[in-house]
Each structure stands twice: as C-alpha cells, then as structure tokens.
Amino acid sequence: MSTLRGIGASPGVATGPVARFGCRPVLPPVAPPPGPDEPGRARAALDHVAAELDRRAAATGSDILTAIAMIAGDPVLATRAADLAAEEPAAWAVDRAIGEYRAALAGGHLVDRITDLDDIRDRAVAWLLDLPMPGPPNPGHPYVLVAADLAPADAAVLDPDQVLAIVTERGGPTSHTAIVAKAIGIPAVVGCPSSFVDGQVVQVDGAAGVVRTHPAAAPVRRGLLDVGPGRTADGHGVELLATIGGPDPLHGVEGVGLFRTEFLFLGRSRPPTVEEQRLAYREVLAPLVGRKVVVRTLDAGSDKPIPYAATGSALGIRGIRIARARPDLLRDQLEAIARAAADTGAAPWVMAPMIATPAEAAAFAATAREHGLTTAGAMVELPAAALRAGDIASEVDFLSIGTNDLAQYAFAADRHLADLADLVDPWQPALLDLIAHVAKVPTHIGICGEAASDPLLALVFTGLGIDSLSMTPQSLPIVRTTLAAHTLAQCRELAAAVRRAKTPAEARGTARRLAVG
C-alpha cells in the first residue's frame, strides 16, 4: 500500500474504485468559417449557462451557484464575447473572452473565481459545439470521484449514494468543494495531485488528508450515528448546532448556530423587500420554534458581490461595513427578521459579520434592539476583534468565532488558494491561540467556521471553553459521538497539549495520540 498526502477537507473514510471527472471540451485545432449569427450564438450560450446555473441554485438553495450564475450572465462578458464572435466562431470567441476575464483575475483578490470561470467556459463551449456537458461520471456503481477540481455547479449535485469520496488536485480546506463535501457527508481530500485511472481501488481518509492505493480493506462508508444534545462523557454540555443557508429540513438537532442569509441578496439587481425577506425567514424559523436559531445578517462582498451595494475586496466593504453606505439594507433585514419572529413565535438571535471594533458591535446591537430583537451578537473573524474580544463582548450578548475568515486575516492568506492552504489550516497554533484568547471572555461563545466539523478540533474547542459548535448537519453525528467519548478533563488536557505544538501537523498528531474512544 502506498500513501498520497493532500489536505483533509471533509472527514470520513471510504474505499472504492476511481471514476474520473468528465473531460473538458476541447476546441478543434482549426476553427471553421464563422456562421451567419455567431455573435447571437455567443450570447445565447452564456444565457443558457446562466439559466442552467440559476436552475441548479434554485434546486439546491446554493448562494454560491447564484453568484456564479451572475458571472455567466454578466452583460460585459456577453458583449465582449459577441464582439469577438464578429470575426470568429462563437465557441472560440467565448473561450477567448472568458480567457481574458480569467487572466484579469489571476493573482487578485477574486482568484478563487477562476474555477467558476473555467466551469462557465466549459459549459458554454460544450453547448456551442454540441458536445456532452462536463460533469460527474456515471459508471453504474458507487465510486471515488477524482478530478482536477470541482466547480460548485457540479459539486452541488453530487449523489452521496453514488459518490463514496472525492479527491481533487486543487482546492483548499475551505474551498467550495470542501464545503459541499461536508454538507452532503462525503469524505474528501483536496490538493492531492494523482495519476489515478478509472477502476483503480483507493481508500480516502478525509480526516487525515491521505489517499491510499491498493488498500486491503473492503469498501466502507461512515454511517450516521446517534442524535441528541451535545455533551461530554461526564455530562458537560456543548451545543451542537447546524449551519444552514435556507429552509433546510433539520431533524434531531438542537438548533441552528449559523443561518446564512446571502441567498436572498445574491443574483438580483435590487435588494429583496422587507416582505420578501419576512416570508423567507418565516419559512426557516417556523419549524424551529423553541430551538435556538442564530441569524447572520448580510455577509456579501469579496467573493459574494452584490450590484446594488458598493461591496469590495476581502479588505474592503463587506459584511457589516455595507451598512456604512447602505444602512437601509441592515435595517430592512432586521425588520424582516423581527416580523418573521412575531409571525412564528420564534426568538432568533442575530449577529453581525466582520465586526472590527467595540463601537461597531454597540451600533449593531442598538439597531437590532430598536427592531425588537433582544439577543444580538458579533462575529469574531478579525484579529482585531479577537484581541479585544472582551471589549466587544461588553456591547453584545454573545460572540461567534468564524474560523475560516479569522485564519485568512490572521495569516494574510486567501483561504480559497490551494497553494496557501497550509497557512489557513485550522490546526495552526497561532489560530488556536486567538481562539483560546477569545474563549476566556465571560460570555456565550460559539464557533461557526468549517473547523467546528472536525471531531478532534471539537474536543480542543471544548477544552478551551467554547460553548457551542455549528457545522453542516451531516457532520453533527460524528462530532456528537466523539465528544460523548471524552470527559471535560480529557478535553482540557488535550487542548493544553495541542497549544504547546509548534506546527499544524504536530498539533493534529498530538490530538490524535491523546484522543480516546
């Protein structure tokens, strides 16, 4: 048996035969003469792709797909493709137009959009050349999916009954592929270059971040474990909550630790009305009355731009900063949440993303309370907020640590870049130090980043004093079971030992060695 190392992106172990992702459509070496309406065909191809992505977004509730559909429907891109198609066939024109767009993004803060552009290009070119659309294979049996990378449009429609595990050559631990894999409970390893061939049997360990060739074990899948409240072996309670992006069906969960509301704001030319938002929030809150639901206000900007607000880069106008120029967006959203709460009898908590100072936290809390929302919190995603967490906590009712962005800003490393994945590893000692510093603050503190779904990190966070963990619903059973196998004292001992590590690998290895059960 040989072992290939990548980046663990979604926990679980699975063994099965490889099936590689469908090939990209390739342009013939010589372009044929242009037809009579190549500009029109170029526009039609992009319109078709945008419509298909919108359809998938509606079917899956994915705000990521909605954002990609906006790119495919960008009139600037369509105009450029049509202009080029005046001199060459539409497929070549679309390929060149997207190539120009792609080159403009390379190295910038939107570099993570390159995979999305590649996907748009492939779909448009396949449509124009009447070739099969790129997508997951269908070998007729369960398989391990191997790909250079996965576009969100394809990752979102994977069938967990057929896809045993995912291995990609590119991507990081918080990439779209990682997020979707966790959401549907598929083990995944990303950033793992390989030369696997169809039918080759491999074993994927998504927690360890390794792929083993010629494994001796029979095919395995990690199944669902018990449900119920989170607690350690000696009864110490840790809320285990779900992270959702819309009215997802939830069974056997204590509540929702992060309700992302971006799905209402993306892919539109104007903001949703208060009434539109009220109806959408009511649909989420109604089945969860009596359970905790934490609603995050609009977190657009960076890789989730909206045209009606001056959103910017990761270091610019995003999250709560949108309210500087558009305070009406925040007020309308809070009013809609309050009305939905009144409709259903729910008592949602609300929290603001990208809080940097106590003054920002105080202003948000005051605005929330003006609308009758009595429990207001702040997200800790910036080193400044982590370092002054005590001051911020004095202005709000709770804190929620977003580990994805906190790692990104602490290490000045784009969390979507595979080449920098080692820097945003959630086991980075400096990141754990920031979390430990926040955990000392005497208020309710939760974690809602991707790191919460790692069973070993859940033990570390519990040992540090974290009160709640929010993750994809599919990750809850294994985290719950792991937590129940350890006492609070063991979690504290493990957290202390991990914090003495000097590298992520040493920290992870220490946790594995000390964990029991």
What confidence tens digit (pLDDT) does each residue in 243-268 have?
998 887 777 789 999 999 998 988 78
- Domain residue spans of the chain: 2-22+135-213, 38-129, 239-514
Q: What is the DSSP string of 256-299?
A: EEEEE-GGGTTT-SSPPPHHHHHHHHHHHHGGGTTSEEEEEPP-
- pLDDT tens by residue, 266-289: 878 899 999 999 999 999 999 999
Q: What mean pLDDT is reported for the chain?
A: 88
User: Over 50: is that where the pLDDT of 67 sits?
Assistant: yes
Question: How high is the pLDDT of residue 482?
Answer: 84
Question: How many residues can be counted in the chain?
Answer: 517
Long-range own/partner contacts, residues 314-318 (CB < 8 A, 24 or more apart): 314/109, 314/408, 314/409, 314/414, 315/109, 318/353, 318/354
Give the pTM. 0.66
| Domain covering 239-514 in this structure, CATH number | 3.20.20.60
User: Over 50: is that where the pLDDT of 223 sits?
Assistant: no
Question: How high is the pLDDT of residue 220?
Answer: 43
Angle at 436 between CA 432 and CA 441, to 5 degrees: 150
- pLDDT tens by residue, 107-125: 554 555 677 888 899 989 9
Fold of 2-22+135-213: Glucose Oxidase; domain 1 (3.50.30)
Question: How high is the pLDDT of residue 481?
Answer: 81
- pLDDT tens by residue, 479-503: 888 888 889 999 999 999 999 999 9
Report how far Cα 186 is from the mean position of its chain's Cα atoms: 14
The DSSP code for 57 is H
Strand 239-244 and strand 255-260: the pairing is parallel
Q: Which residues are catalytically annotated? A: 176, 448
